[in-house]
Amino acid sequence: VPSPTPHPRFRDPTPANAGELASDDEYLEIQAIPRHRAGTYECTAINEIDADAQTVDITVNYAPSVSEGRDVGVTLGQRGLLECEADAVPEADFQWYKDDRKIFNGFEGMKILNSDSLSKLTFFNVSEGDYGNYTCVALNKMGSSNTSFLLYEVIEPTSSTLLQGPRAVQDGSGGVQGMHPPTCLLLLLLLLTALLPALLRI
């Protein structure tokens, strides 16, 4: 007696996609598959005697997409950090550039640390030459993407600017404009000297 012919059926068991993708054939074709269709699919074969099910994992590869870079201000001599994040399958490799020059790990006091989808460029002692424009490039076999950063200098307040206070107004030579107490005192003495004879005659 010939065995009953099984009837295979494919479906996406993901709760969010349940019922959206199904096939009553031994093949399941997905046209222009988007990245959210990645996951585990189930094929079920049923006949009058028994049923069997097998799962298939589908990975959707796509080019990197990087988050927009943020400009960072750092005081001279302090520690600086630039972070670059990329979404990609397979995982992206990262490359850093200052202007058009590629940066290598350990170059001029910089350290590059890559972990999964994140790359960090660390400056342990920021110098004048470190300030400028940086580019992070994320790439895999599907393509590449990049984002830019600006590392700029932050000036710390000095003791002289703190003593002048927020109301101090700087002139072109760097001095503080305003009345000078010694000059005022001299004018007052001259005025009293001129008036003294008239006061004595009263």
Per-residue pLDDT reduced to its tens digit, 8-33: 666 665 655 555 666 777 777 777 88
Question: Mean pLDDT over all residues of the chain?
Answer: 80
What does the pLDDT read at residue 30?
A: 77
State phi, psi for 159 to the nearest 5 degrees: -65, -35
C-alpha to C-alpha distances, 171 to 24, 83, 161, 175, 177, nearest whole angstrom: 84, 40, 13, 6, 6
Question: In 3-state terms, what secondary structure has residue 198?
Answer: helix
Low-confidence spans in the chain with pLDDT less than 70:
1-22, 158-188, 196-202
